[in-house]
Structure 1
């Protein structure tokens, strides 16, 4: 008996991926595998719109709440953990439903991506050089050794510049800045994209942020600061949390923090759209149209039967 294919539910923030993923898992007798980088963190609940245990309706969810806020999220570590879960579920005859909007995390599961290792001493030296010289000077250095990587990595993205230089030094090869175009996805994955009209999604983002602040995002952030959130290189940059931290460090204007969270989330939505729209394997579904689950199931039936 063939193992069931992986089902991936992807797309921009606030489109309704979590609800569709949950419904598909219930319909298929499957389990959800998280592909949202910030939902890996314990305590980042309100600001990531993480489904509560009650909202999960008894459907097992994997790779949620697996990191402390002081830990750095690693795509390579996520890839190993996610593939282990997917393969275990498929071997048991259960459908894995991969749900999230972190494009590289999704691609790390469904594509043949290789992540070079790291050298803490080399990384520290390059980071110190970045602090001393600034990202533009480091980007110029990258352009000398790997022009193609420099053309893709933004001159302002110091963290990625450092990573590119580290990989080049470790491997002696160009930095794989351009990700694979995407062949047949692993695990026979059927990739479903959830989208909405831009005006509709903008309004949903604003309503979601308002609900988050009303639900206690500021208090949640204060509590996480006591757990070391400020020192977490990844978690402290989560949308909503970084804006609240800035407000707490400044004038404490929560209304400005909320407004900036809306603006930042809308910018993030545009980047997500740009990322996922490059992947021709994704079957796009309008979440605002009736019968979303039925349409998703129809795509699955057509793809699995083909």
Structure 2
């Protein structure tokens, strides 16, 4: 069985996953983490993604962290294949796979029978040209008219995914959101736990996290990534915080503006995450501020895990 720890950014998913894995390890039940945060796939993008250090992982194996260069383009289809291969390997080793992150579509692609249609270069080129002509907000309006469910899931800022949804609609004759309905069919048995905070506490935590990114040296991290091609990276260069740090280094924003813009975008992203996870009936919500969350999860799944792992 797969254990998934999900939720909005800043709710403590990574810390919970390590605590839970160590708790089980003390009982002889090994656990390995599979990252499901799209930005933590990138090497060198550490401060801005709140990536756990090796020391913070406390000996718990982590997979799909630092596996892409900043010039690589992350894709849900590639992640699905890589994450499922990692999970299969974990199960073969007799350990429990724990999928951890807040990238909703990435999680759904792994946990459920999510299938990816092919691609058509001409259709893709057409919609990419439309993205350049109209911008992501107006192209999102086109998608909303054709496929409201997909538009709601993607949001108006992710131009690459808006293009993909429109391409799939033209290619298959079916709405892109039909793929989202596949979440009703599990790939393997799983339990999903979502960490939730009330809005005021979450906003305060996120705003402080962003300020901490600048204090901890995000600008230096970005400076080191620029010679490696960060600005050419289709996905990495647009990451929240990184795009603003690049703009600050270019002189397009001052530090206070870069921080404020990053805070606003992070809050907006968290709202979309919360909305995504609340639409999934398989998710078991938990108060991220509660005491000893690891013990709570343990109590809910312990017997089922023992049965799954053969005693």
Output the TM-score relative to the length of structure 2.
0.87
Q: Is 2:182 the partner of 1:186? A: no
Q: Structure 1 residue runs of 4+, over 3 Å off? A: 119-122, 132-143, 154-161, 168-171, 302-306
Q: Is 2:119 the partner of 1:118? A: yes
Equivalent residue for 1:175?
A: 175
Q: Is 2:94 the partner of 1:98? A: no
Cα pair distance change 1:157/1:198, threshold 3 Å: closer
Equivalent residue for 2:37?
A: 36
Query: Are the equivalent residues in 2 in contact too, given 1:12–1:272 (CA < 8 A)?
Result: yes
Q: Is 2:179 the partner of 1:202? A: no
Equivalent residue for 1:220?
A: 221
Instruction: Report matched runs for 1:3-22 at 5 Å.
Output: 5-22=1-18
Equivalent residue for 2:27?
A: none
Shift of 1:105: 0.5
Shift of 1:16: 0.4
Cα pair distance change 1:165/1:279, threshold 3 Å: closer
Q: Is 2:241 the partner of 1:240? A: yes
Gaps of 5+ in 2: 25-29
After superposition, give the CA deviation of every residue in 1:72-117 in whole Å (9 maximum; x if it has no partner): 1100000001011111111221001100000001101111111112
Query: Are the equivalent residues in 1 in contact too, given 2:23–2:294 (CA < 8 A)?
Result: no
Output the TM-score relative to the length of structure 1.
0.88
Cα pair distance change 1:142/1:252, threshold 3 Å: closer
Shift of 1:168: 3.8
| 2: CA distance, partners of 1:298 / 1:209 | 34
Q: What is the number of equivalent residue pairs in this alignment?
A: 298
Shift of 1:126: 3.4
| 2: CA distance, partners of 1:234 / 1:55 | 26
| 1: CA distance, partners of 2:282 / 2:54 | 32
After superposition, give the CA deviation of every residue in 1:29-67 in whole Å (9 maximum; x if it has no partner): 211000000000011100000001111111110001111
Shift of 1:204: 1.2
